Chain A
Amino acid sequence: MKAINDTTAQSYPKTQKRSSLSGREIKNKLFKSLFIGATAFSLLVLLVLLVQIFTQGIPYLNWNFFTSFPSRHAEEAGILSAFVGTIWMMAVTAPVSFVLGVGTAIYLEEYAKKNRFTQLIQMNISNLAGVPSIVFGLLGLTIFVRELALGRSVLAGGLTMSLLILPIIVVAAQEAIRAVPGELKEASFAMGATKWQTTYRIVLPAALPGILTGNILALSRAIGETAPLIMIGALTYVAFLPEGLLSQFTVMPIQIYNWTGRPQEEFHFVAAAGIMVLLVMLLLMNSVAVWIRNKFQKRF
């Protein structure tokens, strides 16, 4: 045993400790500061943005802002119709994208045979996630607004948004389903369970936290999207609340976009207040996603 150790020790050349160490240490410090710099840069930009928005927006952020319709006078302008419009749109987008997205993910992960065809579907879903949102707007305009004659309605907007976030939801749900340990599925099958029983009773409960997290994050992307809705013709000035799925509507980012486009400076401050509301909504949704992830994180 000792002899072996001796030979192995001898077979390694003695390293030049001093010179190489100092070089490596300099490099180490250099890269560390480089990475800190990269992080600091984006944090700084975010901070400047937030400070600007908050200083401009806070004076306009009061109860009236939430209860008023948009107005020609900046002091009276409010976000009510846009806020309610966003909620209406989410009420369409959330269930539609959840059902379609999770359904697709279950099919691809649990039922579909792994062949060229499913590989093609898989590749296309990943590609769709990268398609510019304006293209989804065009698609929505053609299919929902014109072909299906839904008009510039909440329904058409919500469905267009579902299409937009569907790829994200599918991919997130697939990952959550794939993370369910195979032994659990085996145990279920070995007791004579059918595929659906196994999926419903074992796979879905275990994958649900991941699926929900993915859904919420995708929805928070939909809340901030403007382009596809402008494309399908959501209104920019709405002084009424949507009454049903076929009502016309506007949403928060469009309202904000509209305000920032006004020449009067006061409206830019109103826009800042709107941005604050939107940011808080996004923050809330993301917190819920993180909370769900932490609460239901299971060890297998």
Chain B
Amino acid sequence: MMINKREKNSIVIFDIEGEIRRSDISDVTLHQLVKEQLEVGRKQILLNFDKVDFIDSFGVGEILASYISTHNLGGKLKLARISKKLFLIFQITMLTKVLDIHDEEASALQSFFKD
């Protein structure tokens, strides 16, 4: 898994690439990266899954932990370009009721301003 960080209109965007799975944990996890941003005051975070092939429950745990951390600090964490399958899993687990998920990065970014 590779995670690249970029910024747009003071929104931190993490472009995630590859597979997010328990067996493939890198030195720095997604949650740690998010927490680092939160610690420096960046509370608007977008996770872009456009190049993610697979996410297992560990990966979902990372997303949720990131969400909780952001939420606890009054920030916003949004998701964009997740696969159909993951969306279906989020539907089934009711996570669509909690997480803010968007089809495209642009609409996700726009939504930060609407909130």
Question: Are A and B co-members of a single complex?
Answer: no
A: residues with CB less than 8 A from B are none
B: residues with CB less than 8 A from A are none
